């Protein structure tokens, strides 16, 4: 059975030039170029019509001069709804203000002729039936006929985004206001897409802010309205429709100003195109206009052509200049999706939700944490916003549970351009702390976010030792062997991770991979970097991973044998025989000079430096003064588990580890040399190298 929202070609409403000028006085006048209003939907490309706005929710005061366009009768629905005025009109219908005489509620009534050239209201009513009781879509009270008209009675909403913009001379809506609303815009498209519908005409007219009479500053609900062009992207079997052969010459559906590049090329609409149109809508709302807003053209076809050229030639950086980079990422992300890809709405909502917090806290990406102090002397790149997605789940045969990951990446560097710079990768292995949260993919935000905001893709697994899993097995409690297998599984499945995350497709640099780990996570990192051990059954274990080119080892366990306490020797058998002599991969070992572990070793803090002192070069050792096992709070600021809460110290770890990896993975990058020189001025620590 065909989805009721699948429209025929004849039923597509396409945009025309909609030139409302008097008949030309001469042939010369007839060919003169005119301004192309690329925000207007017209019924047929061959027959321009007046603007037919999405007036469902118009909050304009009924126009007393249009009383002649009232219904021939004053009430609708057997006298339930009393018409009070006209809101607006187009070629194929009108919208009236009315009052529910039973409840006193304000409603909007749309009408069209039952024998008119189009039957949009029946189609629109059908679409709304898929969205009953879904937040952000107007309530429908009645659909039927009144004399010669089809009528649709619905709740009356607030002003559209377009109307709000036009109330300002600049045509702009305050950035802070828009950012607060973006998550709702995204959720509306998600709700629509989840019932199998693509909107095909996303633009400012179609978003209404709140209900009738509600103030935009009251944090209102955003409503999506007017489904005249909506269609299903699913076939009769519930599968995604097939892509049709692009036809640049076919009549275009939607509004040229906001149409995606693929629609300009004559490609079939899918979810990605709604998302791209939303990006243009938001940029226009924040900046007041789009570069192609004032195109002049003699016809609709020429207007679409000119706008398509301008749109393709305008870089994302130029389009989004002066506004938060999240808007540019949204556009790049939408353009990077394939025809049948489902957008990651949660990731996008989370990105803008974080931006809301940053804006509210007067955050500037060019400023450091207020308490970072002397660590600011270590130079680094300016931060860019971070996109984090979790959980990303990998099947792991034989593992107690599938492997869940968090993947964080800088979106300012992301692009759908296949020639764009590749992004280096860090595998970050968590420790074995008491916290359910920090010892999982959710922990170590101070490191993961910092590295990702400065150019790395950071992949964080939840190992089986995490308390959030409560897994019991013979390998418990440390799960030292499965931890290494987790990281190898990630390396084996980078293609799958890219496929799951369209914004990273083709962007992972498999030649520049590093591993980092804290505490027992440092032990995991050491094994991948070349450290060997003898396991509980006396078998020599070698997990060396040649795909890893650099390491960050943070407060990791040291040598075994006589250096262990009787407790550690008895209970943690895989610590007994560790050999660092084969650990040849370059690494930075980080320790604190107050990190003593009397339950594990009779030696002092220097036990944690064994990965440096007992291994061959090239290696570096960073010793932090007055730091204990948590190195200032790298696993999480303001956490009970963090006994060493020192933002300045943690900031030093952030910056120096980043600089080391930059120079190790990119040998021509002087970041590490510069950072070492700057460290001498801080008095916070020292570096040795070999």
Pairing of strands 457-461, 423-429: parallel
Out of 49-58, 152-161, 551-560, pick the least confident: 49-58
Tell whether the torsion through CA atoms of 403, 406, 410 and 413 is positive or negative.
Answer: positive
Domain 60-155: CATH superfamily is Phosphorylase Kinase; domain 1 (3.30.200.20)
**Is there a contact between 490 and 497 (Cβ–Cβ < 8 Å)?**
yes
What is the rounded CA–CA span in Å between residue 364 and residue 647? Answer: 18
Q: What is the mean pLDDT of the chain?
A: 82
pLDDT winner (highest mean) among 111-115, 359-363, 420-424, 592-596: 592-596
What value does the mean pLDDT take over residues 48-65?
31
At residue 273, the pLDDT reads 97
At residue 517, the pLDDT reads 96
Residue 543 has pLDDT above 50, yes or no: yes
Residue 213 has pLDDT above 90, yes or no: no
What is the rounded CA–CA span in Å between residue 198 and residue 547? Answer: 43
* SS3 of the chain: helix, strand, coil, percent, to 5: 30, 20, 50
More reliable by pLDDT, 474 or 317: 317
Tokens for 463? 């190992």
Q: How confident is the model at residue 513 (pLDDT cuts 50, 70, 90)?
A: very high
Instruction: Please report which helix (H) or strand (E) contains residue 457, including its range.
Output: strand 457-461
At residue 217, the pLDDT reads 54
Where do you find CATH 3.40.50.1820 in the chain?
Answer: 371-689
Pairing of strands 222-224, 207-209: antiparallel
At residue 66, the pLDDT reads 38
Half-sphere exposure of 368 (CA within 13 A, CB side): 19
What value does the mean pLDDT take over residues 419-426?
81
Instruction: Of 556, 604, 561, 602, give the one whose Cα is nearest residue 583.
Output: 556
Residue that is written with structure tokens 């945009």 in the block? 15
Residue 16 has pLDDT above 70, yes or no: no
Q: What is the assigned CATH class of domain 161-359? A: mainly alpha
Question: How far does CA 125 lie from the centroid of its chain?
Answer: 32
pTM (predicted TM-score):
0.52
Residue 50 has pLDDT above 90, yes or no: no
At residue 617, the pLDDT reads 86
**Is there a contact between 474 and 464 (Cβ–Cβ < 8 Å)?**
no
At residue 638, the pLDDT reads 60
| Helix 325-336 / helix 345-360 crossing angle, nearest 10 deg | 170
Where do you find CATH 1.10.510.10 in the chain?
Answer: 161-359
pLDDT tens for each residue of 594-620:
999 888 998 999 999 999 999 998 999
Tally DSSP H helices, then E strands, for the chain.
18, 24
At residue 210, the pLDDT reads 87
Q: How confident is the model at residue 51 (pLDDT cuts 50, 70, 90)?
A: very low
**Is there a contact between 261 and 276 (Cβ–Cβ < 8 Å)?**
yes
At residue 214, the pLDDT reads 65
**pLDDT cut 90: percent of the chain above it:** 51
Residue 41 has pLDDT above 50, yes or no: no
Residue 108 has pLDDT above 50, yes or no: yes
Instruction: Given the residues 201, 344, 595, 628, select the one marked as catalytic.
Output: 201
At residue 571, the pLDDT reads 84
pLDDT tens for each residue of 558-582:
998 899 899 988 888 888 889 999 9
At residue 74, the pLDDT reads 82
**Is there a contact between 654 and 444 (Cβ–Cβ < 8 Å)?**
no
Quick one: three-class SS letters along 489-545?
A: HHHHCHHHHHHHCHHHCCCEEEEEEEEEEECHHHHHHHHHHCCEEECCCCCEEECCC
DSSP one-letter code for 74? S
More reliable by pLDDT, 621 or 28: 621
At residue 231, the pLDDT reads 92
Contacts (Cβ under 8 Å, ≥6 apart) of 506: 418, 498
At residue 641, the pLDDT reads 64
Q: How confident is the model at residue 629 (pLDDT cuts 50, 70, 90)?
A: very high
Residue 68 has pLDDT above 50, yes or no: no
What value does the mean pLDDT take over residues 197-226?
85
pLDDT tens for each residue of 179-201:
889 999 999 999 999 999 999 99
DSSP, collapsed to helix, strand or coil, labels residue 435 as coil
Domain 371-689: CATH superfamily is Alpha/Beta hydrolase fold, catalytic domain (3.40.50.1820)
**Is there a contact between 446 and 634 (Cβ–Cβ < 8 Å)?**
yes
Half-sphere exposure of 549 (CA within 13 A, CB side): 16
Residue that is written with structure tokens 């089986």 in the block? 464
Where do you find CATH 3.30.200.20 in the chain?
Answer: 60-155
At residue 645, the pLDDT reads 77
What value does the mean pLDDT take over residues 134-140?
93
At residue 502, the pLDDT reads 84
Instruction: Of 253, 274, 268, 255, give the one whose Cα is nearest residue 186.
Output: 274
Q: What is the DSSP string of 601-647?
A: BSS-GGGGGHHHHTS-SSEEEEEETT--TTTTTTT-TT-TT-SS--H
Q: How confident is the model at residue 647 (pLDDT cuts 50, 70, 90)?
A: confident
pLDDT tens for each residue of 390-414:
899 999 988 889 999 999 998 754 4
Asked whether residue 110 is marked as a ligand-binding residue, the answer is: yes
Does the active-site annotation cover 37?
no
At residue 72, the pLDDT reads 66
DSSP, collapsed to helix, strand or coil, labels residue 49 as coil
């Amino acid at each position: 059975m065909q989805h009721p929202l699948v429209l025929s070609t004849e039923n597509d409403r396409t945009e025309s030039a909609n030139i409302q000028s008097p008949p030309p006085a001469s042939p010369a006048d007839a060919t003169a170029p005119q301004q192309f209003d690329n925000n207007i939907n017209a019924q047929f490309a061959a027959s321009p019509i007046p603007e037919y706005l999405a007036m469902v929710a118009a909050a304009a005061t009924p126009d007393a001069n249009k009383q002649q366009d009232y219904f021939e009768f004053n009430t609708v629905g057997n006298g339930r709804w009393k018409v009070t005025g006209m809101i607006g009109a187009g070629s194929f219908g009108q919208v009236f203000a009315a009052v529910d005489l039973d409840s006193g509620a304000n409603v909007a009534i749309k009408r069209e002729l039952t024998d008119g050239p189009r039957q949009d209201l029946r189609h629109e009513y059908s679409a709304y039936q898929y969205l009953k009781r879904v937040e952000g879509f107007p309530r429908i009270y009645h659909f039927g006929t009144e004399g010669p008209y089809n009528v649709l009675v619905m709740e009356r909403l607030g002003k559209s985004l377009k109307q709000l913009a036009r109330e300002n001379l600049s045509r702009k809506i305050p950035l802070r206001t828009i950012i607060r609303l973006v998550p709702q815009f995204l959720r509306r498209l998600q709700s629509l897409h989840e019932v199998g519908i693509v909107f095909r005409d996303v633009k400012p007219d179609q978003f209404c802010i709140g209900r009738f009479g509600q103030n935009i500053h009251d944090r209102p609900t955003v409503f999506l309205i007017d489904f005249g062009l909506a269609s299903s992207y699913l076939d009769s079997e519930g599968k995604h429709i097939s892509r049709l052969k692009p036809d640049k010459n076919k009549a275009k559906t939607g509004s040229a100003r906001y149409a995606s590049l693929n629609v300009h090329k004559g490609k079939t609409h899918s979810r990605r195109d709604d998302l791209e149109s939303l990006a243009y809508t938001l940029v226009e709302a924040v900046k007041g206009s789009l570069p192609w807003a004032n195109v002049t053209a003699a016809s609709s076809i020429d207007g679409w052509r000119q706008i398509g050229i301008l749109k393709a030639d305008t870089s994302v950086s130029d389009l989004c200049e002066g506004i938060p980079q999240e808007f540019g990422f949204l556009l790049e992300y939408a353009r990077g999706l394939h025809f049948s890809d489902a957008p990651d709405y949660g990731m996008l909502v989370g990105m803008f939700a974080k931006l809301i917090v940053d804006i509210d806290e007067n955050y500037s990406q060019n400023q450091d944490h207020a308490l970072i102090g002397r660590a600011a002397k270590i130079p680094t790149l300016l931060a860019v916003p971070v996109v984090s997605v979790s959980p990303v789940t990998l099947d792991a045969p034989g593992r107690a549970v599938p492997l869940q990951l968090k993947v964080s990446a800088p979106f300012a560097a992301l692009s759908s351009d296949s020639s764009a710079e590749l992004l280096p990768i860090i595998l970050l292995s968590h420790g074995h702390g008491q916290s359910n949260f920090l010892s999982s993919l959710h922990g170590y935000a101070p490191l993961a976010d910092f590295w990702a905001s400065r150019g790395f893709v950071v992949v964080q697994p939840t190992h089986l030792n995490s308390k959030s899993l409560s897994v019991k097995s013979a390998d418990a409690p440390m799960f030292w062997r499965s931890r290494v297998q987790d990281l190898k599984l990630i390396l084996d499945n980078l293609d799958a991770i890219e496929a799951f995350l369209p914004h990273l497709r083709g962007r992972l640099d498999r030649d520049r991979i590093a591993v980092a780990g804290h505490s027992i996570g440092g032990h995991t990192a050491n094994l991948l970097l070349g450290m060997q051990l003898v396991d509980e059954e006396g078998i020599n274990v070698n997990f060396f991973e040649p795909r890893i080119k650099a390491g960050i080892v943070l407060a990791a366990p040291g040598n075994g044998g006589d250096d262990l306490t009787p407790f550690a020797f008895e209970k943690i058998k895989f610590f007994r025989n560790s050999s660092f002599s084969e650990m040849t991969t370059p690494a930075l070992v980080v320790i604190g000079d107050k990190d003593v572990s009397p339950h594990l070793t009779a030696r002092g803090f220097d036990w944690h430096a064994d990965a440096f002192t007992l291994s061959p070069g090239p290696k570096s050792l960073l010793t932090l003064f007055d730091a204990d096992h948590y190195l200032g709070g790298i696993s999480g600021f303001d956490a009970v588990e963090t006994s060493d809460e020192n933002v300045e110290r943690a900031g030093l770890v952030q910056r120096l580890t980043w600089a080391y990896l930059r120079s190790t993975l990119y040998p021509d990058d002087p970041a590490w040399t510069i950072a070492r020189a700057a460290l001498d001025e801080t008095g916070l620590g020292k570096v040795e190298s070999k």
